[in-house]
Amino acid sequence: EYLEVLITADKLNMEKKVILVTGGSGLVGKGIQTVISSDKREDEEWIFLSSKDANLLSKEETFAVFEKHKPTHVLHLAAMVGGLFAHMGNNCEFFRNNMMMNDNIMEASLKYKVKKLVSCLSFSVFPDKTSFPIDETMLHNGLPNPSMFGYGYAKRMVDVLNKAYHEDHGCMFTSVIPCSTFGPHDNFDLEGRVIPGLIRKAYEAKKDGTTFEIWGTGAALRQFIYNLDLAKLFIWALREYQEIDPIILAPDEADEVSIKDVAMMILEAFDFKGDVKFLTDKPDGQLKRTASNTKLRTYLPQYQFMPTRQAIRETVQWYVDNHHVARK
């Protein structure tokens, strides 16, 4: 019996996963921390890195952090990101920095014999001019959005490198492509992404008794994913997904919502009673950007996404409770 226990303990030790999460203090990283707190497995040790732990643009610092933790699995969430305005005139910097970071992570993963690397892409990898719904096979079928092509191409190259590392070195490197994400711990920058920007605007309009203004007509349709849903799917991809090709992580096409509906859900969550104004002289952006989650549904046909209204309510509540410390 004693010997059996020893063998079992040894087996567990041998198979222990050390999972390193880059960008661990961001929106998705915090979501994964929340989910893991109630879904931790005995054979998993999770390490969440923030920019304080290592500058991933430095090869030396990246290799040092891999040497320190010796990960068996890596979730690569870290990236240089920004809203549309941040990209204008900065495509070179966005391309070079993201390429450098991804190259460092992949080379370190090869050197330290990481069993699986899952990198996070974004919808900006897809061609600007395309048919809908978009699916994973269309990734390289045309030029990315011209206003943020540096970021779009750098993220696309992750897919190219995943295939190259697999072909040349037998590495299990893959990627996931989430739709627009939101939730607690987001960056509530007014110039940033839609939902956190509108939440901050609504909070300030209610506090100051001013008009709540929405850019455009609100007619544009979008798919959104709550960060806790994305976290669960990321963890699933790390544990179960065995393809090198990427997989889109998005709710069903039927769950697409207009920006106007999202804005109304946010105002409802704030119990906002003030004036609302649509700035119809401002652009709506792309009116449609539908992605197909057919591939995800072949793996997880029963997965239930949190309804957008409920997810917005929870995010608004988090912002109200934490607005003094929230990133803006």
User: Catalytic residues, which ones?
Assistant: 151
Alpha carbon distance 249, 103 (integer Å)? 24
Alpha carbon distance 212, 285 (integer Å)? 19
Question: Could you write out the three-class secondary structure of the chain?
Answer: CHHHHHHHHHHHHHHCEEEEEECCCCHHHHHHHHHHCCCCCCCEEEEECCCCCCCCCCHHHHHHHHHHHCCCEEEECCCCCCCHHHHCCCHHHHHHHHHHHHHHHHHHHHHCCCCEEEEECCHHHCCCCCCCCECHHHCCCCCCCHHHHHHHHHHHHHHHHHHHHHHHHCCCEEEEEECEEECCCCECCCCCCHHHHHHHHHHHHHHHCCCEEEECCCCCEECEEEHHHHHHHHHHHHHHCCCCCCEEECCCHHHCEEHHHHHHHHHHHHCCCCCEEEECCCCCCCCCCCECCHHHHHHCCCCCCCCHHHHHHHHHHHHHHHCCCCEC
Alpha carbon distance 47, 24 (integer Å)? 8
**Which strands, in side-by-side order, build the sheet including 116-120?**
44-48, 17-22, 73-76, 116-120, 173-178, 247-249
